[in-house]
Amino acid sequence: MARNSTRPTSRDVARAAGVSQAAVSLVFGDKWRGRVSETTAERVRAAARRLGYRPNLAARNLRLGRTRTVLLVVPALTTEFFGGVYTGAARVAAEHGFGLVLYPSPEGVGPARDPFPSARAALDGVIASSMAAEALTALRGDELPLVMLDSDPQGSPGATTVNLDIAAGMRAVAGHLLGLGHRRFLHLAADVPSWTFEVRARELAAHLGGIPGAELRTARAPLSIEGAVAAARTALTAPGPRPTALVCDDDLLAAGACKAARRLGLRVPEDLSVTGVDDLGLASALEPELTTVRLDAELFGERGMQALLAVLEGRPPAVGDIPVELVVRGSTAPPGAAGNEGGHTP
Amino acid sequence: MARNSTRPTSRDVARAAGVSQAAVSLVFGDKWRGRVSETTAERVRAAARRLGYRPNLAARNLRLGRTRTVLLVVPALTTEFFGGVYTGAARVAAEHGFGLVLYPSPEGVGPARDPFPSARAALDGVIASSMAAEALTALRGDELPLVMLDSDPQGSPGATTVNLDIAAGMRAVAGHLLGLGHRRFLHLAADVPSWTFEVRARELAAHLGGIPGAELRTARAPLSIEGAVAAARTALTAPGPRPTALVCDDDLLAAGACKAARRLGLRVPEDLSVTGVDDLGLASALEPELTTVRLDAELFGERGMQALLAVLEGRPPAVGDIPVELVVRGSTAPPGAAGNEGGHTP
DNA sequence: CTCGTAGAGTGTTACGTATAACGTGACCCC
DNA sequence: GGGGTCACGTTATACGTAACACTCTACGAG
């Protein structure tokens, strides 16, 4: 069994089946209907099976000039959010015969290094989160169709944008907290340069800043629980009247904020209402469970992939932001709502 | 500027620089030292820059028969753990000029569908988590070098295995809880067919089952917070004496278990000690913070990639499991430790 | 003066596939 | 019975690159 270690090619299959290489190609492509008889096709398939033939995809890609494979560029996978985006995008991709590979831009790797030494070999297009901006500079040179997720529609010339209606989410948060009676707000903002966080800040400013008697301060934290703990501690112990509501850009930040509040002896929500964004599993595991803006990550991924497929096929991509939903849970309450607890008002 | 829309090739660059295509190839490969003069090389590079030339990687891959790209197959990205694995593996890969793409096996997608329509075009090897077993069946046909993460060393013929020393972690948990005085244990096991979870169960049985007077029960839950809530509720309300310590296969399960305990009016750790595995961000965001077995995901990824590189280069891969660390936090205490709380013993 | 060697390149071929262009019988219809 | 489809294939070529096998000049050693 000194079989040659090199893999069989379509020519080998052709020889074994007694047909031409072209016929094998036709059978393994999918346009052999009316060109090759069913019996011949089956003979080819049998020979291929016998030899263990698998088409050489590098050769196919070279020949076709396209690959039916798409790259999804996301920031570091520190939460399950982008896992959901991937799942949704991959589902739509699979329905259209496309493959999807994921490129998480590594933390702390600068834009200088080429992130895709060779993987780029097989890409028809790219979907990229605006939070992974650094990795994108390396893609500028390739003129691949590009869909940007959560990115400034005006700021990405030549790219299609697909966005969550995060502005509506922040308006809902503002409305919810105002309705509960809060007036002193702290915005715990993600210290990440990304359009989606700019929108959150802008929207909060517009809908809390304009209210008579309302006050909005801002603190910044890196996008991690530990970072949020530190930033929230600093902000909550700052001089002046303490805020009664803490609006966080993200559930991770909210989790850190809750932890910091606990350490400072503040009760959530009696002394401090806290909100997040994302609705991670974390949000409902916390005590109290987190009021948050639920983002449908899978739908986000689906819409992103649909937009890219539209671009690839020359169709106009669908427009319209993806709706989000405010989920009210236990971490928000009227300010000073300790009454039902038994007079713990100092 | 009616430029031809097709991208420039090495031949175009050669023409523009007044050299042969072979010379361009030599310059863009990296073995032109002693074959092409520095001045000529610079002329080639200048022409390439002017034309916006980028090597066609599909052609290169076809010609070379290898790609310096590796695939990492992981289960659905429901926690940040595999993000860490990716980060570590990608770092090592980059140091060796390799690229790394990530393939999360989509939830609920059976093994029938080919998960890599075309991405497989450019793969030199595969690193796969044993938890993503389903996706692996589709890879059987390709005879790619394979490194398995957290997989039975005996059960994967032809594959190299890299494992966390999860057995030591479970022994540490058992020792910790026994030392605190616990004797009635419940193991909340992940209902996922994977070697790593089998090891946890086996190790717990060996080190808790053998103790005189000790009792170990087992409940199973899908690997999610919601699943754990339901399973823990059922197990904790079962007839018979309630366990005092709940050993969970994973932090997600532990988070769900804590939530279920709270809903049943049980306090953690006074009425029930809870432990997890992973040390996710979640673990330290919970109240109380979770005692857990910390797994170094990045190191795991690094070692996996190093093993694959060794296989690719014909070197023997390093052996030895990766150490883990028990992190004791607030979710474990001696059984019935409610004394300092003020006599809440019913 | 001849030989060997190193430097600086070039011509050609092969990687494995997909497809346009080209037969070739057979059948059918007027 | 001639021409027009059809059904079923084959031949030949191109995709863009890397590498083998050359050529040619210069130069120092023997």
pLDDT tens per residue across span A93-104: 888 888 888 888
| A81 in the same domain as A127 | yes
pLDDT for res A134: 58
In angstroms, what separates the C-alpha of A206 from chain B's closest C-alpha? 31
Chain B residue with the nearest C-alpha to that of A67: B118
Contact A83 B104 (CB under 8 A): yes
Of A57, A262, A287, Cβ closest to residue B121: A57
Same domain, B234 and B287: yes
Asked if the C-beta of B113 comes within 8 angstroms of chain A's C-beta atoms, the answer is yes
Q: How confident is the model at residue B109 (pLDDT cuts 50, 70, 90)?
A: very low
B186 and B330 belong to one structural domain: yes
Provide the CA B29 to C1' C2 distance, Å, integer. Answer: 38
Residues A151 and A173 in one domain: no
User: Cβ of residue B4 near strand D, that is under 7 Å?
Assistant: no
Answer whether residue B256 is part of any domain: yes
Which residue, among B28, B100, B118, B139, would best test binding to A if mutated, counting the most A CBs under 10 Å from its CB? B118
For residue B136, the model assigns a pLDDT of 64
User: pLDDT means per 10 residues in chain A (346 residues)?
Assistant: 65 95 92 87 95 89 86 88 92 85 65 49 80 62 81 83 97 97 96 92 92 93 95 96 97 97 95 97 95 98 96 91 98 77 40
Domain identity same for A110 and A223: no
Among A92, A65, A85, smallest CA distance to A309 is for A92
On whether residue B61 sits in a domain, the answer given is no
Query: Could you tell me the strand order of the sheet in which A125-129 lies?
Result: A160-162, A146-149, A125-129, A69-74, A99-104, B99-104, B69-74, B125-129, B146-149, B160-162
Q: Do residues B152 and B193 share a domain?
A: no
Comparing B295 with A120, the larger pLDDT belongs to: B295
Span B182-207, average pLDDT:
95
Say whether pLDDT at B169 is over 90.
yes
The pLDDT score that the predictor gives to residue B22 is 94
Domain limits for position B80: 69-164+298-319
Q: Of B67, B77, B98, which to mutate for an interface test with A (greatest number of A Cβ within 10 Å)? A: B77
Judge whether A102 lies within some domain: yes
**Is residue B321 a contact partner of residue B307, using CB atoms and an 8 Å limit?**
no
CATH number of the domain to which A45 belongs: 1.10.260.40
How far apart CA A254 and CA A275 sit, in angstroms, is 6
The pLDDT assigned to B1 comes to 32
A173 near B CB under 8 A: no
Average pLDDT over residues B277-287: 95
Shared domain check, B311 and B208: no
Q: Within 7 A of a protein CB, which nucleotides of strand C?
A: 6-12, 14-20
Q: Which of A78, A122, A281 minimises the CB distance to B121? A: A122
* pLDDT recorded at residue A65: 86
Instruction: Check whether residue B176 and residue B36 sit in a common domain.
Output: no
Structural domain contains residue B4: no
What is the rounded CA–CA span in Å between residue A20 and residue A25?
A: 9
Would you say the C-beta of A172 is within 7 Å of strand D?
A: no
Residue B336: pLDDT band (50, 70, 90) is confident
B227 part of contact set with chain A, CB < 8 Å: no
Q: Is A141 on the interface with B (CB under 8 A)?
A: yes
What's the pLDDT at B256? 97
| Helix and strand numbers, DSSP H then E, in chain A | 13, 11
| B334 and B193 within one domain | yes
Answer yes or no: is B63 within a domain. Answer: no
Domain match, B290 and B223 both: yes
- From CA A307, how far away is CA A318, in angstroms rounded? 7
**D10 closest protein residue (CA to C1'):** A20
Query: Which protein residues, judged by their CB atom, are less than 7 Å from any atom of strand C?
Result: A 6-7, 9-11, 21-22, 25-26, 28-29, 31, 53, 55-56, 59-60, 62-64; B 19-23, 26, 34-37, 39-40, 59, 62-63, 65
Closest CA of chain A from B74, distance in Å: 11
Tell which wins on pLDDT, A277 or B211: A277
| Protein residue nearest nucleotide D7, by CA to C1' | A34
pLDDT confidence of residue B179: 96
Taking alpha carbons only, the member of A108, A71, A105, A68 closest to residue A86 is A71
Tell me which chain B residue has its CA closest to the CA of residue A68: B118
Which of A78, A118, A268 to mutate to test binding with chain B, by most B CBs within 10 Å of its CB? A118
Establish if A244 belongs to a structural domain.
yes
What pLDDT, on a 0 to 100 scale, did the predictor assign at position B190?
95
Minimum CA–CA partner of A142 in chain B:
B54
On whether both B45 and B125 belong to a single domain, the answer is no
In this structure, the answer to whether residues A215 and A263 fall within a common structural domain is yes
Contact status of A276 with chain B (Cβ, < 8 Å): no
Q: What is the number of alpha carbons within 13 Å of residue B17 lying toward its C-beta? A: 29
Number of domains composing chain A: 3
How many interchain CB pairs under 8 A, A with B? 175
DSSP structure class, residue B45: H
Residue A116's pLDDT is 56
**CA count, 13 A, side-chain hemisphere, B192:** 25
Q: Residue A119: what pLDDT?
A: 52
* Residue B77 in contact with partner chain A when CB distance is under 8 A: yes
Q: If you measure CA to CA, which chain B residue comes closest to A65?
A: B58
Q: What is the CATH number of the domain that holds A130?
A: 3.40.50.2300
- Rg, Å, chain A Cα set: 27
